[in-house]
Structure formats: C-alpha cells, structure tokens
Amino acid sequence: MSDKISVCIVGSGNWGSAIAKIVGVNCATLPQFEKCVTMYVYEEMIDGKKLTEIINTTHENVKYLPGHKLPENVVAVPDLIDACKNADILIFVVPHQFIPNFCKTLLGKIKPNAVAISLIKVSIRPKV
C-alpha cells in the first residue's frame, strides 16, 4: 500500500477535462502524489468508439475539450465506483443535479477518510 496521495476527477466535461489536465501534470511531478489520476467518464459512443477508449489512447477528450491533450497519466474510467474507490482526494466537476445520486452510489464504497473538493458551478438564488 502506497503512502502517496491518490486523486480522482469525478466528471469529464470541458471543465472536468481542463482540471484533469492541471491535476495530471501536478500529480506527475509532485512526489507526494500517485502519478496515475483516474477520471470518471460517463461512457458515450463517438463515431462508433467508446469515449473512454478514445481518451485513453489519444489522450484527448474529443467531445468536450477537443484540441487539448491530457497528460498520459490521466486514465478515463467508465465506472464511478472503480474510478473513485482508491482515491484520497475526489474532485467533483459534474452538474450539480448529479451529486445526490453520485453520493448515494459512492456511500460505503470509497476510503472513509477521502476528501471531496467541489468545483461544481451552480447559481444559488435567495428565496423571495
């Protein structure tokens, strides 16, 4: 078992992919982090190929962030639990409406001391 910090990006849209690019570079260069960064990707078919396979072979999210290469240490994973189960840090970058279901799915399936970081964009309006 490694003492290094493991990171998972939960989400792979344009914002999630942009964050994965930054996190991937940092994890590859900072010795306290595991080099491999998992990124949960909702599986979609693009021109007859799975988006996760495209990302893992071309290192580009051709649907949500075309033209920008992801570091080779960012690994797309189509199963939410598999992507998150070994992470010490979970970085949530998904639409806010998915959070309740994601949290229910992950309950009891992730490290008990895992830390969650939210990069979710949401507008909160006061009730009138």
Q: Over the stretch 38-60, which tens digit does the pLDDT of each residue have?
A: 999 999 999 999 999 999 999 99
Q: How many folded domains does the chain comprise?
A: 1
Q: In Å, how far from its chain's centre is CA 84?
A: 8
Could you tell me if residue 23 is inside a domain? yes
At 34 the pLDDT is: 98
At 127 the pLDDT is: 72
At 4 the pLDDT is: 98
Taking only the tens place, the pLDDT of each residue in 80-124 is 999 999 999 999 999 999 999 999 999 999 999 999 999 998 766
Could you tell me if residue 128 is inside a domain? no
At 1 the pLDDT is: 57
CA distances from 9 to 47, 52, 54, 124 (A): 25, 14, 17, 24
Could you tell me if residue 19 is inside a domain? yes
- Could you tell me the CATH number of the domain that includes residue 18? 3.40.50.720
Q: Residue 118 gets which letter from DSSP?
A: E
108-113: long-range contacts, CB 8 A cutoff, minimum separation 24: 109/81, 109/84, 109/85, 110/84, 110/85, 111/85, 111/86, 111/87, 113/88
Could you tell me if residue 123 is inside a domain? no
Could you tell me if residue 126 is inside a domain? no
| Domain range enclosing 84 | 5-118
Q: Residue 106 gets which letter from DSSP?
A: H
Rounded to two decimals, the pTM is 0.93
Q: Return the exposure string of 2-38: e unless at least 16 CB atoms fall within 10 Å of the residue's CB, then b.
A: eeeebbbbbbbbebbbbbbbebbeebbeeeebbebbb
Give backbone dihedrals phi and psi of 11, rounded to 5 degrees, phi first: 130, 145
CB atoms within 10 A of CB 74: 26
Could you tell me if residue 74 is inside a domain? yes
